[in-house]
């Protein structure tokens, strides 16, 4: 039983890592690829935004689809759709085509992510769920860190469309791996064969839980600490998609004249230092109050953004990326724990769902907003505004949010 659980976890993590490497592969070249169609920076940001919109749009339907058609089918369909859409992106002949194919990519990504989280819940119990989720998130982070540098070198060697083709091949590999290796865990009998304390919920209980969703959301919006913690994560997601994934590649190419491979290295440096900080903070968070890590992390992220805004050469941009990575690594995981602290056991499911939705709004809003500001006044102003926003939210959080870790 334990061996089977570990095998499924390893397969899910492998697929997630492959898919995140693929997403990272296109991140250094996506802004430049979009501008090859003659669009402005706002429209470049829309390519990142539409990916996030598709994920938000599919989140709830995907939850129903995994119950109707099973987890395994969605875990196969998600990467398959992502692979086809990625190949179509490489063949796009207009910006509108590219926008549509990016939306399909987001749908594929959302299908897999939702199905993977449901299967992880199926095969875990109260004791193992936390470590398994952490292991899965670590695989995602490793994949995200490896992708940008690989994608930059691929683009330098074979052209700006090549990363999308490689991305499609990796998605195809993930599809085959899911089809061959993953079992179906939809039925209680199958789940119980893997997880020794699997519990079957009564249908009447499910109806009661669904009826309480609206009331629960209203109650959560009255919780000051929950809202302030969610706002901090909103600012981090806003930064990661708006500045990190959009403006830094454009600034690196236009202002400093960097190649795609060097831009990819900068993005990888952010993730590497985020991972290092996350490892250290993971140990410190057991001993220190949450706010002593969250607030300095956000302020450090803001400082890193200021350094990015005034970067004039490659070395300076690398230092800025290091500071940004440490800031995100300090604040990101701890703020998730802080938000979880504010929820009772009965609120955990709906609370974390609402928390993710607020975070994803930052994912969607950041690229278009900062892209529009960059079109008006260049790169420096929007990145400084982003820095001011992150630091302001950190200060508001520190002043008005109470400490949750005793």
In sequence order, what DSSP letters do the residues of 129-187 get, joined into one string? Answer: HHHHHHHHHHHHHHHHHHHHHHHHHHHHHH-TTHHHHHHHHHHHHHHHHHHHHPPP--S
Torsional class of 257: left (φ above 0), alpha (ψ -120 to 50), beta (otherwise): left
Q: Phi and psi (nearest 5°) for 332?
A: -55, -60
DSSP 55: H
Confidence (pLDDT) at 202: 47
**Pair 274, 353: CB distance under 8 Å:** no
CA distance 386 to 124: 39
Confidence (pLDDT) at 128: 64
Q: 400-406 long-range CB contacts below 8 Å, 24 or more apart? A: 400/224, 400/228, 401/224, 401/225, 401/228, 401/229, 401/291, 401/338, 402/225, 403/289, 403/290, 403/291, 404/225, 404/290, 404/338, 404/341, 404/342, 405/285, 405/288, 405/289, 405/290, 405/337, 405/338, 405/341
CB-facing half-sphere around the CA of 63: CA atoms within 13 A: 7
Rounded to the nearest angstrom, the gap between the alpha carbon of residue 44 and the centroid of all alpha carbons in its chain is 19
Confidence (pLDDT) at 262: 94
Tens digits of pLDDT across the chain (406 residues): 566 777 888 888 888 888 888 888 888 888 889 888 999 999 988 988 898 888 888 876 777 788 788 888 888 999 999 999 999 999 999 999 999 999 999 899 888 887 887 787 777 765 666 567 667 777 777 887 788 888 889 999 999 999 999 999 999 999 998 898 888 776 555 445 455 544 444 444 545 555 556 676 777 788 888 899 999 999 999 999 899 989 999 999 999 999 999 999 999 999 889 888 877 887 777 677 888 889 999 999 999 999 999 999 999 999 999 999 999 988 877 887 788 778 775 666 567 667 777 887 888 899 999 999 999 989 999 999 999 999 999 999 999 988 876 5
**Which residues fall within 8 angstroms of residue 181, CB to CB, at 6 or more apart?**
7, 11
Q: Phi and psi (nearest 5°) for 55?
A: -65, -45
Confidence (pLDDT) at 140: 78
Confidence (pLDDT) at 397: 94
Q: Tokens standing for 96?
A: 């509108």
> In sequence order, which ranges of 182-290 are alpha helices (DSSP H)?
188-194, 203-211, 213-220, 224-239, 248-254, 260-284
> In sequence order, which ranges of 27-94 are alpha helices (DSSP H)?
30-35, 41-69, 71-91
Confidence (pLDDT) at 248: 95
DSSP 6: H
Confidence (pLDDT) at 371: 94
**Pair 43, 367: CB distance under 8 Å:** no
- Residue bearing tokens 């109707």: 68
CA distance 356 to 379: 29
What DSSP element (H or E) covers 302? helix 291-309
**Which residues fall within 8 angstroms of residue 222, CB to CB, at 6 or more apart?**
none
């Amino acid at each position: 039983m334990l061996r089977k659980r570990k095998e499924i976890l390893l397969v899910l993590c492998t697929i997630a890592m492959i898919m995140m490497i693929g997403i990272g592969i296109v991140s250094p070249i996506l802004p430049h690829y979009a501008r090859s169609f003659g669009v402005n920076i706002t429209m470049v940001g829309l390519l990142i935004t539409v990916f996030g919109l598709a994920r938000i749009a599919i989140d709830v339907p995907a939850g129903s689809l995994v119950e109707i058609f099973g987890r395994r089918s969605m875990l196969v369909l998600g990467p398959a759709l992502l692979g086809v859409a990625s190949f179509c992106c490489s063949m796009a002949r207009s910006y509108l085509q590219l926008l549509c194919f990016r939306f399909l990519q987001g749908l594929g990504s959302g299908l897999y992510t939702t199905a993977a989280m449901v299967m992880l819940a199926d095969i875990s119990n109260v004791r193992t769920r936390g470590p398994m989720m952490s292991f899965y998130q670590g695989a995602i982070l490793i994949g995200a860190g490896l992708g940008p540098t690989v994608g930059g070198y691929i683009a330098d060697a074979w052209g700006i469309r090549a990363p999308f083709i490689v991305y499609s091949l990796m998605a195809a590999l993930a599809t085959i791996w899911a089809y061959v290796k993953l079992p179906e865990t939809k039925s209680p009998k199958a789940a119980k064969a893997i997880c020794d304390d699997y519990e079957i919920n009564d249908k009447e209980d499910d109806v009661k839980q669904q009826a309480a969703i609206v009331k629960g959301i209203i109650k959560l919006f009255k919780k000051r600490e929950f809202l302030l913690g969610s706002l901090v994560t909103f600012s981090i997601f806003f930064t990661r998609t708006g500045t990190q994934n959009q403006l830094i590649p454009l600034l690196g190419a236009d202002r400093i004249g960097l190649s795609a491979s060097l831009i990819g290295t900068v993005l990888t440096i952010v993730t590497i230092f985020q991972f290092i900080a996350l490892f250290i903070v993971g140990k410190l968070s057991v001993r220190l109050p949450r706010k002593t890590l969250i607030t300095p992390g956000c302020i450090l992220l803001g400082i890193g953004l200021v350094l990015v805004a005034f970067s004039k050469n490659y070395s300076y941009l690398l230092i800025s990326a290091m500071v940004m990575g440490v800031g995100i690594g300090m604040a990101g995981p701890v703020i998730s724990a802080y938000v979880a602290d504010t929820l009772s056991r009965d609120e955990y499911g709906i609370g974390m769902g609402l928390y993710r939705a607020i975070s994803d709004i930052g994912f969607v809003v950041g690229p278009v907003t900062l892209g529009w500001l960059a079109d008006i006044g260049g790169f420096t102003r929007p990145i400084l505004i982003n820095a001011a926003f992150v630091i302001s939210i950190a200060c508001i959080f520190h002043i008005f949010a109470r400490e949750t870790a005793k």
